[in-house]
Structure 1
């Protein structure tokens, strides 16, 4: 290090956050109100009915997505969560995950589509995604606290920033991977770019897009546990409490509940994203050509 020389990046970042807070305070208050209302509504839906009602709904979704094996596993896992008395906190974690993942997907898919249709946008978006994916998870909590104080909102904002990148990347990758000849055929038949996007590119890119959705949900679930450090509700509070008290039992119960929710979400979204291919019809076999009759050999002269 050169004596007397230091780049004050930290001071600049602090000044920038202070300027943003003073200038756009009303805007962030509106965002906080919307996110809080959104979370409260989803949490109310998941925590107000009896636990067996929510279990039946999740089991039905699991059966629809991937059959009876996943439905049975989901039922057993959710009963275990009830048995260790973590149901309410698990539903709070699930609500926070669903809200953050839904908002992240609303951002990721349009941005991915835009990047796939413009090389300039892709060139701008790519380093931003690199920055978001390489930044340590705990760092996202710092500006979120400055902008939204403590509570559920900074947890949602940090989770969105942490989870949005795979959705953008896989959406762009899926659309760019569509066969160019198919797109050219659409242009040849006079289809507009919007119609080509809706009826050709998005359906063909859907497996990649759904893989991005799955990754967004998984990253959201991993981040909402960390977000409990800034006041977000759910299982993360018990995990942090278990770490501070070295409570192995509480940590195991809360951690197992997180694993069960993660497995259910992963299998259900993977089931819905699976490409359902119809079995190809066997080609009609053409009747084998009859063998031509052998020509009678001419008699050999004596």
Structure 2
């Protein structure tokens, strides 16, 4: 009887949405300058990368990617890059390919510039580690679509919002894998560095970073893959490239258009994953 009475009592809704809206309006009204500056910086980076990639003829750019693939993993990946990127050129998806690559390069670059230093600080400070741990857990568990909401609120529709949402989505692996790589360095290496009189900065760039490099490279690889996984999702808030074509094909139910753009994203994903993945002894040149 008591439980039934309690369940029938009216419960006032917590105005959480109103609080968040007021907070966002406060940030937009009082910090529009920094937001605009950051937005302009991201826009400049995207335009710069896209202009640089567009400056080269497609065949030249394909050969450059093929050479990088050969240096990293050998003839197999190099041939795959030539065939795959050549197919996208033939399908007249080259401009969208360059837009997608520019967005990914910008997103990954910003995520690494922010993420790797945070990972280094996290490995040397227990306070930073305990502060960032729940934040990273939260960032890696919420659905990717949620990242679009704050990016849209602060930066509006467009490629810049898509890139910023991608940065937030992809930044966790570089932070965590940089942290893990440094804390897992054998104590013997650290003691050897100290025995030779290395100061903290010398320990960092001569012992810790080289020792943690495989883990850092894995973080870079995961960052690239997460950035690619946001290509289609970011198109929902105005990001261009292959993701925009996939989204358009879904809206008009054009299977052929969606397949062509989708296979383009797959080709980019495989190429970048192999080129920036771990380089092992099985790869032949």
Query: One fold, TM greater than 0.5?
Result: yes
Q: TM-score, normalised by structure 1?
A: 0.88
CA offset at residue 7 of structure 1? 2.4
| Structure with more of its chain in helix, by fraction | 2
* Unpaired segments ≥5 residues, structure 1: 278-302
| Match among 276, 279, 284 for residue 274 of structure 1 | 279
Map 1:69-84 → 2, pairs under 5 A: 69-84=76-91
- Deviation per CA, 1:88-123: give whole Å up to 9, x if none: 101110110010000000011000000000111100
Q: 2:130, 2:280 → 1: CA distance?
A: 30
- Structure 1 stretches of at least 4 aligned residues deviating more than 4 Å after TM superposition: none
- Report if aligned partners of 1:156, 1:224 keep a CA contact under 8 Å in 2: no
Q: 2:211, 2:280 → 1: CA distance?
A: 10
Residues 1:86 and 2:112 aligned together: no
Q: CA RMSD in A?
A: 1.5
Match of 1:295 in 2: none
Q: 1:89, 1:203 → 2: CA distance?
A: 37
Residues 1:262 and 2:269 aligned together: yes
Q: 1:44, 1:53 → 2: CA distance?
A: 15
CA offset at residue 173 of structure 1? 0.3
The structure that has the greater radius of gyration is 1
Q: 1:254, 1:224 → 2: CA distance?
A: 11
Match of 1:13 in 2: 20
- Deviation per CA, 1:97-156: give whole Å up to 9, x if none: 010000000011000000000111100011111111112111111111111111111111
CA offset at residue 276 of structure 1? 7.0
Q: 1:78, 1:186 → 2: CA distance?
A: 46
Residues 1:67 and 2:74 aligned together: yes
| Match among 218, 221, 229 for residue 236 of structure 2 | 229
- Report if aligned partners of 1:227, 1:236 keep a CA contact under 8 Å in 2: yes
Q: 1:274, 1:82 → 2: CA distance?
A: 28
Deviates more, 1:202-211 or 1:177-186: 177-186
Residues 1:128 and 2:129 aligned together: no
Match of 1:40 in 2: 47
Q: 2:279, 2:221 → 1: CA distance?
A: 11
| Match among 21, 32, 56 for residue 25 of structure 1 | 32
CA offset at residue 165 of structure 1? 0.3
